[in-house]
Structure 1
């Protein structure tokens, strides 16, 4: 099992989760984060830190797509280990559904 970041993170990018990760497996894109599934040790400490529930276990139904997306982008985005400011207007974006792929930005953070 691993944890993955889902589309809820897009244009929110709260980073509370990165500071608690004992293996630093988060990676930063322009408008969201990813978890490297190969580095994640399945401890789960990041999941409750996300205020918008964007972090989910891969065992949850429909997560196969997000495991693949996290694996792909965590290999090309820079590692993030410290909390930063959330995305501008994050609180409003947190309420938006179906942000992937239209709002997703594949650029590095």
Structure 2
């Protein structure tokens, strides 16, 4: 079972989670992060670090976010690894509480 980044990350892209990942399984897109399910070792360290609570164990992903399991797997094959913390997107705090952001995802 891997961990999954869900919709709350879109247009925020806080990278606190990247800093604690022991296997560098995060991949970076323009305004979203994903977890490579083949690299994730289920350590749970990233979950507590996410300020917008966007990371779930695959079995715990909310029903409304289940599409993000496949999306993480797909995009992790296309995007490059991110291994160091970066600044969040400039307007991340404004987007942190916004819901229904899937249309905002940039590939």
Q: Which runs of 5+ in 2 are unaligned?
A: none
Q: Which runs of 5+ in 1 are unaligned?
A: none
User: TM-score under structure 1 normalisation?
Assistant: 0.93
Cα distance, 1:67 vs structure 2: 1.4
User: Within 1, Cα distance between the matches of 2:31 and 2:14?
Assistant: 10
Q: Deviations over 1:7-61 (max 9, x none)?
A: 1000000000001000000000000100001110001000000000011111014
User: TM-score under structure 2 normalisation?
Assistant: 0.94
**Would you identify which runs of 4 or more consecutive aligned residues in structure 1 move more than 2 Å?**
61-64
2:88 counterpart (86, 89, 95): 86
RMSD between aligned residues: 0.9
More helix by share: 2
Secondary structure class of the residue paired with 1:46: helix
Name the structure 2 match of 1:47.
47
Secondary structure class of the residue paired with 1:27: strand
